[in-house]
A and B are shown apart, each in its own frame.
Chain A
Amino acid sequence: MSTTTVMKPSRRKGPISFLTILGWFTAILFFLPIAWIISTALKPKNTVLDIPPKFVFMPTFQNLVDAVSFSNTLQYFVHSAIYSFTSVFLAIFVAFLASYSFSRFKPAGTDFLMFLLLSTRFVPAAAFVIPFFQLFNVLKLKDSFLGLIIFYTMFSIPFSVWILKGFMDGVSTKFDETGMVYGASRWHIMFKVVLPQVRSGLVAAFVFNIIFVWNEFLFNFQLGGLKTYGIPVGLFTSITKGGQVDWSFVASIGTLYVMPLALVIFFFQKYLLVGLTFGTVRGEV
């Protein structure tokens, strides 16, 4: 008698599987704090602290208008934008050159140099605060955009080089050589041939770094000043305006503060995913 093995048919997938629901649930759970901040910003002031919380209410933009018109709020945004975008653009430009060099010319000890580059990130940020404070005082860079831009550029370069080198290694050197054969200069090859092919890496590096710099508090607080405080410090110093915590104000600033980043991440998330595949996940400074 012969026996026949019948393969068990795989379970038919329904239109929405259990795992999909679980995935959505988890994602929403993570999004709740943001949703809470946004809903608080839109609630009338007198209902913010209601217990039980009100989930249905008539949204108002008055809190946002108040927050924006409060003394230095706009200034903080402008400051944040100036030092964040400038330093990250600068860092990526430098990192692009550096990673091209590491990838193509492979200077002696490339691996060790790459390790050294990242080593600045091994030390907890707090260890740097006092030395940098003193250094900035001596160099008269405290409370200057130049100082903050130098600092954030320096801190953004290593990680950008790591991301970009991975992308750069993925572009065959034959592209460079073909360019050379056809009479192109090294600069032309870098910016016209290689750069378009590492665009994903540039965007990934940009997004990761802008998240870090935009959110950075400690050094902005220590090395900055009234002329250069960004939103995180601004939020912190304005949190108790009027002697008590004004949650509508906090939530409004928080909402406005999250928006630019949320938009950047939303529009560039496919690049972020590519960036993450290099296994490079950063922590705090």
Chain B
Amino acid sequence: MYDINLKNVTKGFGNLQAVNDITFTIPKSSVTVLLGPSGCGKTTLMRMIAGLETPTSGSIFFDDIDVTRVPTKRRNLGMVFQYPVIYRGTSVKRNLELPLLSEKLSAGEISKRVNDVADLLGISGDLNKMVEELDNGTRQKIAVGRAIARQPQIILFDEPITNIDITAKLELKRSLKEVFSRLSQTIVYVTHDQTEAMTLADQIALMQDGVITQCAPPKEIYEKPKSQFAGWFLGNPGINFIEKEHISVAGSGINSSLFSQTIDAGSHASQVKVLGVRAEAIEVKTTQSPEARSARVVRKSLGIGGQYLLDLEYGSLKVKARVAHQLGREIGDQVWTTITSSDVIMFNEAGVAI
């Protein structure tokens, strides 16, 4: 399998710089998710890897082979698009085997591959159905199956779940997770959906304004965002930001009305402008303790899985805290909170984590 090496890759459309000087390696035999908001350049970057767009400057290598000008059809790829690309008026089986027909494979081999991918995706029972009979989720599975059946070196997924309805979406996500764990190909997956990224990725490459701002495994990128953008974009809700008017610096220590202890920032203390705390890092109690800070519940909403999201007010500072169960506190009630120092992330003026 191939590493995908991007060297100073830039792509502009008129005045718009969609991808801006990206140098990056997508490691072989792993799932790399390009994650970012709409318009951040993730799809353009993927299309350049596929050869469907040509970089304005820079080069793309599969291992050490320069493929920048190699046409798509010679790149040995599989690709799944946002909308299920299926050939109407034909059966599921036919849809899966079509790209294999030009591969000079024996009929037995084609049949084996089609059956294998159908098994893998759980669509063996649908092989003889016409594609019109199937829902969008299953149609997308066909597109995935077609990409896998060719056994290419690299498989690209361009937001394959985005346009699938919610029930089929969960099923398809589960299938993809299963498929990814069995494949040894280099997989690049584009999405704007962080839960998809967190579920499927070996590493997430977070993109903003045409550049990759951070690349790390899901847990790491969530717990240790390198920028305010990463902290805000990942997590639901995004990270709480405590702006400079709510913090004070004394020597190497940082104080805030949010926590009772002083946080040691070492020699970087003077650079700290914003603090970040995840909603679940705020421990909420109903009883007072010496190390806890007092806050008032100003809003309460029930989240998924019985979790509650509380908007807490510490004087003029407001943050969101996630609690795992019903605390018996309502809007207007007082609660006490503590935060572990190691859960506090410090950012400088430019929004970069220190």
Interface of A toward B, CB cutoff 8 Å: 172, 174-175, 177-178, 180-185, 193, 196-197
**Once bound together, how far apart are the Cα atoms of A174 and B140, in whole Å?**
13
**Once bound together, how far apart are the Cα atoms of A177 and B88, in whole Å?**
17
A-B contact pairs, 6 of them (CB 8 A): A177-B79, A177-B81, A178-B79, A178-B81, A182-B78, A184-B102
* With known contacts A174-B81, A185-B73, A196-B89, A180–B52 Cβ distance under 8 A: yes
**Once bound together, how far apart are the Cα atoms of A44 and B12, in whole Å?**
78
Chain B: which residue is nearest A178 at the CB level? B85
Interface of B toward A, CB cutoff 8 Å: 50-52, 71-75, 77-79, 81-83, 85, 87-89, 98-99, 102-103, 143, 146-147, 150, 156
Question: In the assembled complex, which residues on chain B have CB atoms less than 8 Å from the CB atom of A182?
Answer: 73, 78, 98-99, 102, 146, 150
Question: In the assembled complex, which residues on chain B have CB atoms less than 8 Å from the CB atom of A175?
Answer: 85
Q: Is the CB–CB distance between B52 and A177 below 8 Å?
A: yes
**Once bound together, how far apart are the Cα atoms of A197 and B89, in whole Å?**
10
Majority SS at the chain B contact face: mixed
Q: Is the CB–CB distance between A197 and B88 below 8 Å?
A: yes
Q: Which of B73, B85, B88, B147 contacts A183 (CB 8 A)?
A: B73
Q: Is the CB–CB distance between A181 and B50 below 8 Å?
A: yes
**Once bound together, how far apart are the Cα atoms of A183 and B103, in whole Å?**
9
Across chains A and B, the number of contacting residue pairs, with CB separation under 8 Å, is: 50
Q: Which of A172, A181, A193, A197 contacts B73 (CB 8 A)?
A: A181
Q: Which of A174, A184, A193, A197 contacts B83 (CB 8 A)?
A: A174
* With known contacts A196-B89, A197-B88, A181–B83 Cβ distance under 8 A: no
Chain B: which residue is nearest A180 at the CB level? B72
Task: Give A172 Cβ to nearest chain B Cβ, in Å.
Answer: 6
Closest 8 CB pairs of A and B: A182-B99, A180-B72, A181-B79, A183-B73, A174-B81, A178-B85, A174-B85, A181-B77
**Once bound together, how far apart are the Cα atoms of A111 and B52, in whole Å?**
24
Question: In the assembled complex, which residues on chain B have CB atoms less than 8 Å from the CB atom of A183?
Answer: 73-74, 99, 102-103
Question: In the assembled complex, which residues on chain A have CB atoms less than 8 Å from the CB atom of B75?
Answer: 181
Question: In the assembled complex, which residues on chain A have CB atoms less than 8 Å from the CB atom of B147?
Answer: 181
* With known contacts A174-B83, A178-B81, A184–B89 Cβ distance under 8 A: no
**Once bound together, how far apart are the Cα atoms of A215 and B102, in whole Å?**
45
Chain A: which residue is nearest B47 at the CB level? A177
Known: A177-B52, A182-B99. 14 other contacts (CB 8 A): A174-B82, A174-B83, A177-B50, A177-B72, A177-B81, A178-B79, A180-B71, A181-B147, A182-B146, A183-B102, A184-B102, A193-B87, A196-B87, A197-B88
Chain A: which residue is nearest B71 at the CB level? A180
**Once bound together, how far apart are the Cα atoms of A184 and B103, in whole Å?**
11
Task: Give B269 Cβ to nearest chain A Cβ, in Å.
Answer: 52
Task: Give B164 Cβ to nearest chain A Cβ, in Å.
Answer: 15
Task: Give A261 Cβ to nearest chain B Cβ, in Å.
Answer: 28
**Once bound together, how far apart are the Cα atoms of A242 and B150, in whole Å?**
74
**Once bound together, how far apart are the Cα atoms of A182 and B72, in whole Å?**
8
**Once bound together, how far apart are the Cα atoms of A184 and B100, in whole Å?**
11
Question: In the assembled complex, which residues on chain B have CB atoms less than 8 Å from the CB atom of A181?
Answer: 50, 72-73, 75, 77-79, 147, 156
**Once bound together, how far apart are the Cα atoms of A184 and B85, in whole Å?**
15
Chain B: which residue is nearest A188 at the CB level? B102
Task: Give A174 Cβ to nearest chain B Cβ, in Å.
Answer: 4
**Once bound together, how far apart are the Cα atoms of A256 and B156, in whole Å?**
59
**Once bound together, how far apart are the Cα atoms of A175 and B99, in whole Å?**
12
Question: In the assembled complex, which residues on chain B have CB atoms less than 8 Å from the CB atom of A197?
Answer: 88
Question: In the assembled complex, which residues on chain A have CB atoms less than 8 Å from the CB atom of B79?
Answer: 177-178, 181
**Once bound together, how far apart are the Cα atoms of A279 and B196, in whole Å?**
43
**Once bound together, how far apart are the Cα atoms of A193 and B89, in whole Å?**
12
**Once bound together, how far apart are the Cα atoms of A148 and B137, in whole Å?**
53
Question: In the assembled complex, which residues on chain B have CB atoms less than 8 Å from the CB atom of A180?
Answer: 51-52, 71-73
Question: In the assembled complex, which residues on chain A have CB atoms less than 8 Å from the CB atom of B50?
Answer: 177, 181
Question: In the assembled complex, which residues on chain B have CB atoms less than 8 Å from the CB atom of A185?
Answer: 73
Question: In the assembled complex, which residues on chain B have CB atoms less than 8 Å from the CB atom of A196?
Answer: 87, 89
Task: Give B187 Cβ to nearest chain A Cβ, in Å.
Answer: 14
**Once bound together, how far apart are the Cα atoms of A241 and B38, in whole Å?**
76
**Once bound together, how far apart are the Cα atoms of A183 and B81, in whole Å?**
16
Question: In the assembled complex, which residues on chain A have CB atoms less than 8 Å from the CB atom of B78?
Answer: 181-182
Question: In the assembled complex, which residues on chain B have CB atoms less than 8 Å from the CB atom of A193?
Answer: 87
Question: In the assembled complex, which residues on chain A have CB atoms less than 8 Å from the CB atom of B77?
Answer: 181
Question: In the assembled complex, which residues on chain A have CB atoms less than 8 Å from the CB atom of B156?
Answer: 181
**Once bound together, how far apart are the Cα atoms of A185 and B50, in whole Å?**
15
Chain B: which residue is nearest A184 at the CB level? B73
Question: In the assembled complex, which residues on chain A have CB atoms less than 8 Å from the CB atom of B85?
Answer: 172, 174-175, 178
Task: Give B261 Cβ to nearest chain A Cβ, in Å.
Answer: 55
**Once bound together, how far apart are the Cα atoms of A165 and B239, in whole Å?**
49
* With known contacts A180-B73, A181-B73, A183-B99, A172–B83 Cβ distance under 8 A: yes
Chain A: which residue is nearest B149 at the CB level? A182
Question: In the assembled complex, which residues on chain A have CB atoms less than 8 Å from the CB atom of B89?
Answer: 196
Chain B: which residue is nearest A186 at the CB level? B73
Task: Give A158 Cβ to nearest chain B Cβ, in Å.
Answer: 29
**Once bound together, how far apart are the Cα atoms of A175 and B72, in whole Å?**
14
Question: In the assembled complex, which residues on chain A have CB atoms less than 8 Å from the CB atom of B143?
Answer: 178
Question: In the assembled complex, which residues on chain A have CB atoms less than 8 Å from the CB atom of B88?
Answer: 197
**Once bound together, how far apart are the Cα atoms of A193 and B95, in whole Å?**
12
Question: In the assembled complex, which residues on chain B have CB atoms less than 8 Å from the CB atom of A177?
Answer: 50, 52, 72, 79, 81
**Once bound together, how far apart are the Cα atoms of A183 and B77, in whole Å?**
9
Task: Give B281 Cβ to nearest chain A Cβ, in Å.
Answer: 42
Chain B: which residue is nearest A172 at the CB level? B83
Task: Give A85 Cβ to nearest chain B Cβ, in Å.
Answer: 27
Chain B: which residue is nearest A193 at the CB level? B87
**Once bound together, how far apart are the Cα atoms of A172 and B163, in whole Å?**
15
**Once bound together, how far apart are the Cα atoms of A177 and B48, in whole Å?**
12
